[in-house]
């Protein structure tokens, strides 16, 4: 088996755990539970969900599989790393397919573990929907700009060896902030894989194309902006853990 296929299989596993974790968090914080009864305000619930998901993402990036694959768990990140020149083009499609399959499997197993409540409102397989009044265009712009901001920050940090080790927490914190701030408006997805499994299983696919394409557009926008700027440093690795494949610290040489 080639390295790309092995790494793609690990990306599937990572995205599986991400979506199993996300669905579990939504089930217990927003779905009927002692936690949701104690905290009836949706804004507070989203703050808790954002913090928990952010920690989960950072943990998966820093896990042994995450250190091997790069811990992308997000098609937009894989696309951005290819455009930054640190991830092989031949790996983009296998990674994306693995991430989408992992998304579906994670939600399926969460449904099997936690029961029918996962399929019922307000959990509804943890699917995201924009707030009433949000059009596809405004949702697309919000998701695009949110993803572009994240990719720009990640690109800057992965180009500076002393900042690279903070990337897992920067990514986790950024996603958590997006959930807490945008949860009641856009859902704060910024990840096609985050929405794919829940939408496929819930049947709520009206805005799915936006959630799939807007983060990809944001990734392309961010990489274009970085290339357009007179930057002095290039991105050194596609691994969000901020190290080379062998675990060694970044030193200014891409591996």
Bridge partners (DSSP) listed for residue 249: 243
- In degrees, rounded to 5, the angle at the alpha carbon of residue 149 between the alpha carbons of residues 146 and 154 is 125
Res 13 pLDDT > 80: yes
Q: Which residues have CB under 8 Å from 10's CB, separation 6+?
A: 65, 68, 69
pLDDT in tens, 197-206: 999 999 999 9
Residues 72-104 pLDDT 10s: 999 999 999 999 999 999 999 999 999 999 999
Sequence spans of domains, the chain: 3-228
- Is 125:201 a contact under the CB 8 Å cutoff? yes
Q: Which two tokens stand for residue 222?
A: 């961010």
Confidence of residue 250 (pLDDT cuts 50, 70, 90): confident
CATH class of 3-228: mainly alpha
- Whether 161 has a pLDDT exceeding 60, the answer reads yes
Contact 192, 200 (CB under 8 A): no
Which class for 237: exposed (0-12), middle (13-18), buried (19 or more C-beta within 10 A)? Answer: buried
Q: Does residue 1 register a pLDDT over 70?
A: no
Report the distance separating Cα 145 and Cα 153, nearest Å. 12
Three-class SS state of 107: helix
Could you report the per-residue pLDDT of 210-243, keeping only the tens digit for each?
Answer: 999 999 999 999 999 988 875 667 899 999 999 8
Tokens 């092995």 locate to 6
Residues 6 or more apart whose Cβ sits within 8 Å of residue 135? none
User: How far is it, in rounded angstroms, from Cα 82 to Cα 92?
Assistant: 7
Residue 119 DSSP label? T
Distance CA 223, CA 208 (A): 24
pTM > 0.85: yes
For the stretch 98-143, pLDDT in tens is 999 999 999 999 999 999 999 999 999 999 999 999 999 999 999 9
Give Rg (Cα) of the chain: 17
250: tokens are 């970044």
């Amino acid at each position: 088996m080639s390295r790309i296929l092995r790494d793609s299989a690990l990306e599937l596993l990572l995205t599986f755990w991400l979506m199993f974790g996300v669905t579990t968090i939504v089930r217990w914080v927003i779905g009927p539970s002692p936690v949701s009864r104690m905290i009836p305000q949706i804004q507070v619930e989203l703050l808790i969900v954002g913090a928990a998901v952010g920690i989960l993402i950072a943990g998966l990036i820093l896990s042994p599989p995450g250190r091997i694959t790069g811990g992308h768990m997000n098609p937009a990140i894989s696309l951005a790393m290819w455009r930054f020149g640190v991830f092989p083009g031949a790996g983009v499609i296998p990674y994306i397919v693995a991430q989408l399959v992992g998304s579906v499997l994670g939600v399926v197993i969460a449904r099997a573990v936690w029961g029918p409540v996962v399929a019922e409102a307000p959990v509804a397989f943890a699917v995201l929907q924009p707030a009433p009044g949000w059009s596809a265009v405004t949702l697309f712009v919000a998701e695009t700009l949110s993803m572009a901001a994240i990719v720009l920050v990640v690109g800057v940090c992965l180009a500076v060896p002393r900042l690279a080790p903070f990337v897992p927490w920067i990514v986790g914190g950024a996603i958590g902030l997006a959930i807490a701030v945008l949860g009641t408006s856009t859902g704060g997805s910024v990840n096609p894989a985050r929405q794919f499994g829940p939408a496929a299983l819930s049947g709520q696919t009206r805005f799915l194309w936006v959630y799939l394409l807007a983060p990809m557009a944001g990734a392309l926008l961010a990489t274009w902006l970085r290339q357009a700027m007179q930057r002095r440093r290039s991105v050194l690795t596609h691994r969000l853990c901020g190290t080379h494949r062998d675990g060694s610290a970044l030193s200014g040489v891409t591996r």
